Amino acid sequence: MFGGEFTKVKAITSLRPADHIAVWDLSRWPIKYQHHGIVWAAGDSEDTVQICHVWSPLVGYREAQADSCFRISTLREFLYNRSLASLRVVEYHTSSLRELLSKWGEVHYTRADLPEVILARCKFLMGLGKGEFNIFKQNCEHAAHWCMTGEQWCKQNLTRAKGRVPFEHMVSPEQVTALDDEIDAIKTISKSVVDKTLSLNGQSVHLRVLGATESFLTILPNGYLGVTETRGDASAFTVSTSSKVYNSMKVSFQVGGKHMYSRSTISCYRQIHMKKYNFWRGRPGMTWELSSNGYMKSMNQHRRYIGLRTDNILVDVSMRGDATRFELVPLDGSQAAPYDAQIRKLPSTKAFELAVHKSMRNLEARRSGHKPEGGEASIDEGDEKDENDEAATYKAFPSPRAASSPKAALGHKISM
């Protein structure tokens, strides 16, 4: 009921950067265990989806243990002959009951950070940890959970790794401080979005869909929620907002005594309805978690996202890659919309594409017996700058490990 069906990856194309994934394995150890990683780049096949994880391309056990570090591979290499049917997206901020009843390691009660924060941590770890793998003290789940939350925790063996960051002895305190500064800058932007959205508490708003200029939610005659491309036909919702964190808010939407309700865990209906509150439905069903980047999740036992069906009806979906983003637009024309679902000021995943491409080139060079670019796959200050290359984009967001100052240009290693 609360197990792998909700976390199972049913389509590779639904994976998004910063998703925490895990695959079950019974081939290497006498017990069933999980291998964990973070999605770095989306794609449409096992060869185009790219994953950050503690891993080595070497085959021999001892050689792989000595060579393993935090690096990028394809999803096919991440699976390593394991079944795609065993691939899961690890969920965060679920109910305590669902965490208890779900398969070990697939669900966490704790909150995850913004995707931009998660990818910044992944970028920081690139190339670290060579030869440091330890199943109890520093494994792939410790690293993946740290990228998601900032805490090194392995649910499989109930251990916490020491240090502020994984493999901390390999970096300087100044480099860790620079990472903190980078993350704080992202969190500040996110918090400003949350604060501005909180200012709409009790006001009437339209819900803009997908960040489009003229695409809004409307209540259909049957009580379902659909989409209209005319703002004059959009439904006006009274919004209630509250928040205690930097990256999300609890919101509810009411029209004429009815609330936007999510279905219960055992319901077979996926459409989002407008319903009146009663004791049996409970208040969690009419409360939603709206993230600062626009995704909306239910607060029931299973935290489902809201997606848009092909017939423009709102339904619940399990994967962020299938979800729709929303913006709150105040009806008061004199008040500027405080919410931007794109948060365009945050570093885009495209800012990290140079690291992806160069890492993959170096991996292929290593496999073919050639020397990787820059020796051990480094991105050095001496690299030539092509204004038409993605390097110009990447250099706008330097790795904190490049220097103690966030203003440093490049110089961080990506060992493959």
Alpha-carbon separation of residue 185 from 17, 97, 148, 351 (angstroms): 20, 34, 17, 16
User: What percent of the chain has pLDDT above 90?
Assistant: 54
Give ranges for CATH 3.90.1720.10 in the chain.
4-170
Q: What is the reported pLDDT for 11?
A: 94
The model's pTM is 0.82
Question: Taking the CB of residue 155, how many other CB atoms lie within 10 A of it?
Answer: 18
Token output for 259: 């609330």
Token output for 103: 């398969």
Show Cβ contacts of residue 151 under 8 Å, excluding neighbours closer than 6 positions.
110, 145, 160
Higher-confidence residue of 383 and 209: namely 209
Measured distance CA(89)–CA(239) in Å, rounded: 31
Assess contact for 284 and 98: CB atoms under 8 A: no
Token match 């319903």: residue? 275
Token match 């049913």: residue? 10
Assess contact for 205 and 236: CB atoms under 8 A: yes
Q: What is the reported pLDDT for 164?
A: 95
Measured distance CA(415)–CA(391) in Å, rounded: 18
Token match 């959970």: residue? 145
Q: What is the reported pLDDT for 306?
A: 94
Tell me the sheet residues that pair with 25.
33
Q: What is the third-level CATH fold of 192-330?
A: Trefoil (Acidic Fibroblast Growth Factor, subunit A) (2.80.10)
Q: What is the reported pLDDT for 397?
A: 41
Q: Which DSSP category does 384 fall into? A: P
CA angle centred on 106, ends 103 and 109, rounded to 5°: 105
Measured distance CA(353)–CA(333) in Å, rounded: 39
Place 5 in a pLDDT band, splitting at 50, 70 and 90.
low
Assess contact for 52 and 70: CB atoms under 8 A: yes
Would you say residue 280 has pLDDT above 80?
Answer: no
Would you say residue 388 has pLDDT above 60?
Answer: no
Residue range 12-32: mean pLDDT, rounded: 86
Place 339 in a pLDDT band, splitting at 50, 70 and 90.
low
Assess contact for 324 and 312: CB atoms under 8 A: no
Token output for 325: 């983003």
Measured distance CA(20)–CA(36) in Å, rounded: 7
Give ranges for CATH 2.80.10.50 in the chain.
192-330
Question: Rounded to the nearest 5°, which phi and psi values hold at 145?
Answer: -65, -35
Question: Taking the CB of residue 295, how many other CB atoms lie within 10 A of it?
Answer: 18
Place 264 in a pLDDT band, splitting at 50, 70 and 90.
low
Residue range 131-140: mean pLDDT, rounded: 91
CA-nearest of 40, 56, 142 to 367 is 56
CA-nearest of 326, 334, 317 to 272 is 317
Assess contact for 128 and 180: CB atoms under 8 A: no
Average pLDDT across the chain, whole number: 80
Residue range 273-279: mean pLDDT, rounded: 82
Token output for 398: 């330097």
Measured distance CA(170)–CA(30) in Å, rounded: 32
Read off the pLDDT of residues 72-108 as tens digits, 9 standing for 90 and up: 999 999 999 888 999 999 999 887 777 776 667 788 9
Would you say residue 361 has pLDDT above 80?
Answer: no
Q: What is the reported pLDDT for 354?
A: 47
Read off the pLDDT of residues 221-236 as tens digits, 9 standing for 90 and up: 999 999 999 999 999 9
Assess contact for 250 and 218: CB atoms under 8 A: no
**Yes or no: domain 4-170 corresponds to CATH 1.10.760.10:** no
Q: What is the reported pLDDT for 232?
A: 92
Which region among 58-72, 279-293, 313-327 has the lowest average model confidence (pLDDT)? 279-293
Helix segments in 199-274, DSSP class H: none
Question: Rounded to the nearest 5°, which phi and psi values hold at 85?
Answer: -65, -15
Torsion angle (degrees, nearest 10) of CA 317, 189, 254, 329: -100
Show Cβ contacts of residue 58 under 8 Å, excluding neighbours closer than 6 positions.
64, 67
